[in-house]
Structure 1
Amino acid sequence: MIAIYARVSTEEQAKKGFSLEDQLKECRKKANSEEVIEYVDRGMSGEFLDRHALTKLRNDVREGLITKVVCLDPDRLSRKLMNQLIITDEIEKRGVELVFVTSEYTKTPEGNLFYSMRGAIAEFEKAKINERMSRGRREKARQGKVLRNFQIYGYDYDKETSRIIINQEEANVVKLIFDLFTKPNDLVEGINGIAKYLTNKGIPTKRGAKIWHRQVVRQLLMNQVYTGKFFQNRWNTEGMLGNKYKSKDERVPMKERPKEEWIPIDCPAIIDEETFKHAQTLLEQSRRRWAKKSKNDYLLSGLIRCGDCNNTMVGIKTTNWGQTVYIYTDVKNYAGAKHPGCGRRINVSKLDQEVWETILNWLNAPEEIAAATERDGEEDTPDFDEIEIERLHSEIGKVKAGRKKLLNLFSEGLDISEEEIRESLKELKEKEERLSKQLEELEKVRKKNDQHIYGKKLLQEAAEFYFSKGQQNLTFEDKKSLIRHVVKEIRVYEDRIKIYTF
């Protein structure tokens, strides 16, 4: 029986015009027989051996069902020389004749040499195509164009301009998700709650699915594109094309490229930077703050930590002289606990009351909070920290440029001793380290100030929710939501407690 093998990838079909029908037609002519079996791989890369039709052909050759194999060109078998030689060797070992339409192949030293040269050229050509395509994509990205439709919820892809544009209906859902996650509300609790809420409301996902999963919501909350920061050339996917043909252990993972290689693209923002940063802070603590509910619900669950041993404290029910008592404790008595805790215990009612009264004192002064927020907003004095940060960035850039210039002068063979170069480079390095340290300190101060201003905003939002509901109408869940909106952590010491806000 004569076998015909044909393969085409979408890329090659578009570039070379060899459709599968063309290949099969030419191969049938070469076979010159009615008794043929056709093995066809559609849209399969020639880089990998594990292809459905090719594997079937190789098996049939081993079973002795095939007497002759006809193929358009050696690069249809594979784009890699090594793989071509493996397939050829398998076929010829069984005494099966291998014939190509575009070239004559003979089992002679000259024929083998020519065959190997063609395979090497095909592999080189494939590598050049990939390199040219990658370079073209990077250049397109540098021109501010988006390479393809990345299917980002909240956005659409405009093919004519190669830009990302806002999908207003989805953008409103994005804002809703961030609001539900970062603001006090009586609708949902945590990521799972948001996923269930969206599902119950019948809001479809980007793919049109009816069910929202918690991981989809989590990925959306972590996506920086919503602040207007979209990067291309961020991920290195080299070698991943063949993952679907490999076992789990052999698959090539996606790797993040160095930041300097990322290409920023203009993208309309949906969420402000402060809200996004606050969402990231909450996500880091989500496992603690929205843990699976126990039989008894505790107002401060997920927020308390022992001030001495640093263990988290959880609520438990115990008995004291026959009476049921609820306490928060840092004791970890489960198998594998790294730190058993120092045995701190505090009455649930006592701590809940103390924390809630503190929160009430904050919430009952909305005028002061509003005034402070307005003063922060109206302040029009120059931001000296910002000016200094900009100056330090400029100085560090000059130092790097000076170091590069020194190395260039030395490489050009100018009359400068190696010792002078070394001394100058050392001075520049020390200066860069000094400037970088100053920059780091200023960045910390600015971040702290930004967080302080945002903390006031969070308190203002909590106050608005509190007064909209009224103290008498607040449910247990409302109180939990209010506390979690403004409190980052509660540290319990022997003689005091300390409340840390955002």
Structure 2
Amino acid sequence: MIGIYARVSTEEQAKRGFSLKEQIRSCREKAGQKDGILEYVDEGLSGEFLNRPNLTKLREDLKEGIITKVICLDPDRLSRKLMNQLIVTEEIEKRAELIFVNGEYKKTPEGMLFYQMRGAIAEFEKAKITERMSRGRREKAQQGKVVRNFQIYGYDYDKESEQLVINEYEARIVKMIFELYTNPNNNFKGVNGIAKFLTAQGIPTKKRVEHWHRQVVKQILMNRVYIGEFYQNRWNTEGMISNRYNNDTSKKIKMTVRPTEEWILTPSPLIIEQSQFDYAQQLLKQGKRRWSGQSKYKYLLSGLLRCVDCGNTMTGRRQKNWGEYHFIYTDEKNTSGAKHKGCRNRIRTDQIDNQVWDKLESWLRCPESLFEAEGNLKDSLEYEKNEIIRLNEELKKNKKAKSRLLKFMTFNEDIDVQEFRTMLVELQNKELEIIKAINELEEEISFQDINKSNETLEAAMDYFFSKEQLLNFEEKQNLIRMVVKEIQVTKCGSVKIFTY
């Protein structure tokens, strides 16, 4: 039996007009017969990888002895990479005769040299095409054009002008998401609550999926495109095309962020005001602490308190004392895996709640006193700075451990390689986690250093004076969070309030 192999990628079809029918016709003419021919065709698949369905089927049929001759238009149809091309060629020639329509290659040193040169040229041509396309997209982005349809919720893509245009229906949903997040109520709290609400309302996502995931909502809240800043060339997707051919999830290539200096800013139509977006980012920074769990009882300062002595956050708790129940804030952590158990710092909720609310009310009535209090704003970042120092020390220890492990693996042959590889992967993952934590803390410090939102304060004042004595618990809590970043408490009961 004769096997004919043909392949064309989507890129080649679009750019050069390669035709599968033409490849098959040429191969059949080369075969010189009509019967006894099996066709193996891969359409729309890159020649960069060997894991293609019909190429795999051809290789299996060769092993079983079904195919005795293979005809292909050109070596680069087998693969665009020289190494893969040589592997497939050798595999075929061990079991069958390999014939190319465009050129015969004799099994002589000269013939093999020419064959390898042809493969190297094909690989170089593929790399050049990729590089030209990437450069072309970057140049287009620098001209202020949107290079493709990025499927951004709230916008449509205009192919003629190559620009983002507002989708009025989706834009209303975006505004609603920001409004629900920055002005929460009892019905839907936090990112997860908004996602459930959108799903319950039957509002479709950009991909027309009925279910909203919390991560999709969070991405919308973090996307600067809604304030007119759309960044192209931000994500590095190099090599990710191989993921579709790789079934091993541990070996899949992940998308990474390029350095900020490589990002290309393209103006986009405004949907959200800057002040509301900035406030949403403030809330997101505290998201884990605010919505980490729903307590049976409500606490006015939930998610804002920290113990000065041990650095733990302080959470609300009901405590029985001499037969009476009292509500307190404490830094004690009973959860499994807590880094620090706390130093038993406790304070009555009514004591500190009233103190903080009275102070906030005086600030809102006299903003000048608030600005004077902000002289200690940088001190509120002391925990973050100390945590960065601790994490850097932990990172050094982890790197030393990894270095010792690598040396041991190098100079000892009689070891269980798989066991040590597992240990190495664990150390590598831990290093990535530490680096991520450091980056998040540095972003927090940077955010606080550059961010001073007078507009947020003005919004808080307007909100306060519009309600005055009619504020309920949730409204008071929301107002405190608009202004207060953190409240630090010492064991002796002294309180220091830090604002945005």
Contact 1:178 1:221 in 2 (8 A): yes
**Change in CA separation of 1:489 and 1:109 when aligned onto 2, cut-off 3 Å:** same
Partner of residue 222, structure 1? 222
- Do the aligned residues in 2 keep the contact of 1:46 with 1:78 (CA within 8 Å)? yes
In structure 1, the residue corresponding to 2:278 is in which secondary structure? helix
TM superposition shift of 1:201: 2.5
Amino acid at match of 2:482: H
Contact 1:184 1:462 in 2 (8 A): no
Amino acid at match of 2:63: R
2:38 matched residue in structure 1: 37
Q: Which amino acid in structure 2 is aligned with residue 477 of structure 1? A: E
Count of equivalent residues: 423
Q: Distance in 1 between matches of 2:88 and 2:253?
A: 24
CA 1:124–1:66 in 2, change beyond 3 Å: closer, same or farther?
A: same
Which residue identity is paired with 1:500? F
User: Which residue of structure 2 lines up, in the alignment, with residue 351 of structure 1?
Assistant: 352
CA shift for structure 1 position 184 = 5.1
**What is the DSSP-based 3-state SS (H/G/I as helix, E as strand, rest coil) of the residue aligned with 2:452?**
helix
Cα drift, residue 307 of structure 1:
2.8
1:461 offset after TM fit, Å? 4.6
CA distance in 2, matches of 1:466, 1:42: 66
Shift of 1:465: 6.2
For structure 1, the residue ranges without an aligned partner over 5 or more in a row are 374-443
Instruction: Report the Cα distance in structure 2 between the residues aligned to 1:447 and 1:327, rounded to whole angstroms.
Output: 29
User: After the TM superposition, which of the residue ranges 194-203 and 449-458 deviates more from structure 2?
Assistant: 449-458
Aligned to 2:196: 196
Distance 1:445 1:323, change over 3 A: closer
Task: Check if 1:489 corresponds to 2:486.
Answer: yes
Structure 2: distance between partners of 1:351 and 1:338: 26
Cα RMSD (Å): 2.7
Cα distance in structure 1, aligned partners of 2:484 and 2:291: 14
Give the conservation status (yes or no) of the 8 Å contact 2:184–2:190: no
Give distance in 1, aligned partners of 2:88 and 2:449.
Answer: 64
Deviation at 1:148, TM superposition (A): 0.2
**Which residue of structure 1 lines up, in the alignment, with residue 291 of structure 2?**
290
Runs of 5+ in structure 2 lacking a partner? Answer: 372-444
Q: Deviations over 1:177-219 (max 9, x none)?
A: 1222223545431111111222223222111122211100101
Aligned-pair identity (%): 58
SS at match of 1:488: strand
Alignment of 1:391-470 (within 5 A): 451-463=452-464, 466-467=467-468
Which whole-Å deviations, capped at 9, do the CAs of 1:61-102 have from their partners, x for residues lacking one? 1122211111111111001111110001011112x0111122
The Cα of 1:225 is off from its aligned counterpart by: 1.3
Tell me how far 1:498 sits from its aligned partner: 2.7
What is the distance in 1 between the residues matched to 2:363 and 2:210?
41
- How far did residue 124 of structure 1 move? 1.4
String of CA shifts for 1:251-306, please: whole Å, max 9, x gaps: 22323333332222121222233322222221121000112113333332212111
Whole-angstrom CA distance in 1 between matches of 2:48 and 2:34: 30
Taking a change above 3 Å as real, the CA distance of residues 455 and 308 of structure 1, as seen in their structure-2 partners, is farther
Name the TM-score, length of structure 2 as normaliser: 0.78
The 5 A counterparts of 1:175-324 are 175-183=175-183, 185-246=185-246, 247-324=248-325
Closer/same/farther in 2, CA of residues 90 and 487 from structure 1, 3 Å limit: same
State the alpha-carbon separation in 2 of the partners of residues 218 and 446 from structure 1.
Answer: 18
Residue 414 of structure 1 corresponds to none
C-alpha contact 2:275 2:453 (8 A) present in aligned 1: no
Q: CA offset at residue 140 of structure 1?
A: 1.5
Are residues 342 and 159 of structure 1, via their aligned partners in 2, closer, same or farther at CA, if it must alter by over 3 Å? Answer: same
For the 8 Å contact 2:76–2:122, the answer to whether it is kept is yes
Secondary structure in structure 2 of the residue aligned to 1:38: strand
2:112 is aligned with what amino acid? N
In 2 relative to 1, CA 113–495 (structure 1 residues): closer, same or farther, beyond 3 Å?
closer
Cα distance in 2 between the residues matched to 1:22 and 1:264: 44
Q: 1:449 to 1:159 in 2, by over 3 A?
A: closer
1:396 alignment counterpart = none
User: Does the C-alpha gap of structure 1 residues 446 and 214 become closer, same or farther in structure 2, counting only changes over 3 Å?
Assistant: closer
Of structures 1 and 2, the larger Rg is shown by: 1
Residues 275, 456 of structure 2: 8 Å contact kept: no
State the one-letter code of the partner of 1:268: P
Structure 1 SS opposite 2:76: helix
Partner Cα distance (2:496, 2:319) in 1: 25
Partner of 2:149: 149
CA distance in structure 2 between the aligned counterparts of 1:130 and 1:18, rounded to whole angstroms:
17
Quick check: 2:347–2:493 contact (8 Å CA) kept in 1? no
